[in-house]
Amino acid sequence: MSNGTQENSTGKVAIVTGASRGLGRNTALSLARKGTDLVITYHSNRAEAERAVAEIEALGRKAVAFRLDTGDTSAFDGFADDVRRALKEIWGRETFDYLVNNAGIGHNALFADTKESDFDRLYNIHFKGVFFLTQKILPLIADGGRIVNLSSGLTRFSVPGFSAYAAMKGAIEVLTRYLAKELGARGIAVNAVAPGAIETDFSGGAVRDNPDFNRFVASSTAMGRTGLPDDIGPMIAALLSDDNRWVTSQRIEVSGGMFL
């Protein structure tokens, strides 16, 4: 059933991890509005994932949701099998076109106070998981496809309390360049998108729900406000369009000009 707001089908299929909420959900919906079908993942909230699928379908697109802990590499074989089966049964094809590595968690602790267990969890989700999930489903990505890895503005500017998180995102930016180099022969473009502070429930909703922090972010941003999910999802959808086929190996910050 269409609500008349989406564009014609692109014939493309995207995987967006962590798409039951926040930036992942906004990205999935933005892609759907541009005519792309979706495979989304969620960590634990199946009900929210099902609502996201319903929203995508209301835009006239096909969608399916799979549970996936992106910090658990042992789950990746099963996920690849789920994707392979869905591609065949729903879309009648063997490959998908776009991968958006979005799933993540927040963590705020000064360097001196960061626990090894928290560091390991950040590493498993934000770097190791992205590395090996992409590797696992790489054979399913169509030649000429696209990969977007989510980074952070915190790789350019430093805010106390985010050393471990930002370090993982820095690793993602290096990985992005290497993937762009190694996958270029297949026509696969790989870029990193680095959001600034966004009003979501990420990190306990600090930007959205803490008025003092919200004002601090706004005062530190050239555009004079904090970011919204709608500032990010449509940008990623645009980056994945054919209009940007010659863009690869780039770190693209989408922060409204934080800390210039």
* Enzyme catalytic residues: 165
Measured distance CA(114)–CA(187) in Å, rounded = 40
Residues in the chain: 260
CA-to-CA dists, residue 110 to 53, 70, 165, 170, angstroms? 38, 25, 11, 17
SS3 148: strand
Measured distance CA(78)–CA(7) in Å, rounded = 33
Contact 166, 155 (CB under 8 A): yes
CA-wise closest residue to 237 among 1, 19, 4, 3: 19
Measured distance CA(70)–CA(123) in Å, rounded = 11
CA-wise closest residue to 39 among 99, 93, 104: 99
Tokens representing 235 are 């940008």
